[in-house]
């Protein structure tokens, strides 16, 4: 390890709260699908900042947009209008074909907005008793109190228990009968990921999402899709829900939107959005000029460089190569994914060992469960990148046989 890395690690231990189980590497720069650490060692990045760096690291158009906007105006708060925010809201509306936007700083905050909006909308419908929320087991929606409660992973609740008991009811994913039973008169909204990312790359089936839409329509319940990880091309469509043909009432975005800068968005059907009144919800930093300028550049790059289509093609190639390359590896139980959100399920709980071994060979992947490896490379990834990543991962996993 370099002296620079040792200083960074020592300072982190002394001055940063111990909330991260960091890997023993510090990165200094990135370009495209490649990162370099403080020693100058090169890595193929199949984490992409947890599905954030969709257009790759340091894309020139995004860098220039950030640099230009920072030289003009960085912050004035939401007491005033700024052009980048309005342009981005219009752009997201046009991508969806509907909706009004609230800008936050993260996916958790976007989901928090969606939960508050659902309660406010139900009150506008003169149904104030419909304050409850249904979410899926295995889901992940954030780490605020409300979004942690919505997260269907009890182990994440335990250190902060009790969770608000009246807020969330959890049901198994893809179980329409359980959903039918849970959506009672006390429920105001249903919050679902179209593909569970942190829960293990678990897609919701089109049939399940259609049943969810029908049940919500029948019972006056808002359908919210958390597309924080799946939105903006990750699944091979602009939005993951487009694979099913089911349109939500509210959709949340973050991660890929800002090209590495913090921004989230809660987008609601126009009549639902109108339930909010001035003062009902707010943020000091959300939708600031620099993150919005970056996001506009990101959307331009995704569109002009055909990255949604590339995500679909490379995602199919990645899954096919993984299934072929790992077919004889007893360490592997399953390979599944949608677009460039792909999971390799292991036959045992040794995913951290696999992550470490891949990193030592120049490939970055991450473990979302003790038995699950996630691959979420930038959408600019090439066939050569896929070949290289699969060769490294296959080599590591075959050694465990």
Q: From CA 192, how far away is CA 212, in angstroms rounded?
A: 9
Pairing of strands 372-375, 341-346: antiparallel
Rounded CA Rg of the chain: 21
Question: Tokens for 57?
Answer: 């690291």
Catalytic option among 102, 103, 140, 241: 140
Catalytic option among 37, 45, 226, 371: 226
By C-alpha distance, which of 319, 261, 246 is closest to 292?
261
Burial classification of residue 315, based on how many CB atoms lie within 10 Å of its CB (0-12 exposed, 13-18 middle, 19 or more buried): buried
Cβ atoms within 10 Å, residue 21: 6
What secondary structure, in 3-state letters, does 77-135 show? CCCCCCHHHHHHHHHHHHHHCCCEEEEECCHHHHHHHHHHHHHHHHHHCCCCCCCEEEE
End-to-end CA distance of the chain: 30
CB 351 within 8 A of CB 15: no
Is there a catalytic annotation at residue 210?
no
Is there a catalytic annotation at residue 255?
yes
CB 289 within 8 A of CB 72: yes
By C-alpha distance, which of 22, 4, 44, 30 is closest to 360?
44
Q: From CA 44, how far away is CA 151, in angstroms rounded?
A: 31
Element (H, E) at 76: none
Is there a catalytic annotation at residue 37?
no
Catalytic option among 45, 255, 276, 321: 255
Residues identified as active-site: 140, 226, 255
């Amino acid at each position: 390890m370099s002296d620079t890395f040792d200083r960074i690690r020592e300072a982190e231990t002394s001055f940063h709260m111990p909330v991260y189980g960091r890997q023993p590497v510090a990165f200094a720069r990135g370009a495209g699908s490649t990162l370099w650490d403080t020693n100058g060692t090169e890595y193929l990045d199949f984490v992409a900042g947890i599905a954030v760096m969709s257009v790759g690291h340091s894309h020139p158009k995004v860098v220039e947009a950030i640099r230009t906007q920072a030289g003009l105006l960085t912050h004035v708060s939401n007491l005033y209008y700024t052009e980048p925010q309005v342009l981005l809201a219009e752009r997201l509306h046009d991508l969806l074909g509907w909706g009004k936007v609230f800008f936050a700083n993260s996916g958790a905050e976007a989901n928090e907005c969606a939960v508050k909006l659902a309660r406010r909308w139900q009150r506008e419908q003169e149904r104030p008793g419909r304050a409850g929320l249904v979410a899926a087991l295995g889901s992940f929606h954030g780490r605020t109190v409300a979004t942690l409660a919505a997260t269907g992973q009890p182990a994440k609740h335990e250190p902060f228990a009790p969770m608000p008991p009246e807020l969330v009811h959890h049901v198994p994913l893809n179980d329409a009968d359980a959903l039918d039973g849970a959506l009672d008169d006390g429920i105001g909204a249903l919050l679902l990921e179209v593909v569970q990312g942190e829960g293990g790359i678990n897609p919701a089936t089109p049939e399940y999402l259609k049943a969810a839409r029908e049940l919500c329509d029948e019972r006056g319940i808002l359908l919210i899709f958390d597309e924080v990880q799946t939105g903006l091309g990750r699944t091979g469509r602009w939005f993951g829900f487009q694979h099913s043909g089911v349109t939500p009432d509210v959709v949340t975005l973050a991660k890929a939107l800002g090209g590495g800068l913090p921004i989230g968005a809660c987008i609601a059907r126009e009549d639902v959005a109108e339930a909010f009144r001035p003062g009902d919800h707010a943020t000091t930093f959300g939708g600031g000029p620099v993150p919005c300028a970056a996001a506009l550049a990101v959307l331009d790059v995704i569109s002009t460089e055909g990255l949604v289509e590339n995500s679909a093609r490379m995602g199919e190639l990645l899954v096919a190569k993984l299934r072929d390359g790992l077919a004889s590896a007893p360490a592997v139980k399953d390979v599944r994914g949608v677009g460039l959100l792909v999971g390799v399920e292991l036959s045992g709980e040794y995913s951290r060992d696999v992550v470490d071994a891949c990193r030592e060979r120049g490939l970055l992947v991450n473990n979302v469960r003790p038995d699950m490896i996630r691959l979420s490379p930038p959408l600019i990834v090439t066939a050569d990148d896929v070949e290289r990543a699969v060769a490294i991962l296959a080599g590591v996993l075959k050694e465990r046989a």
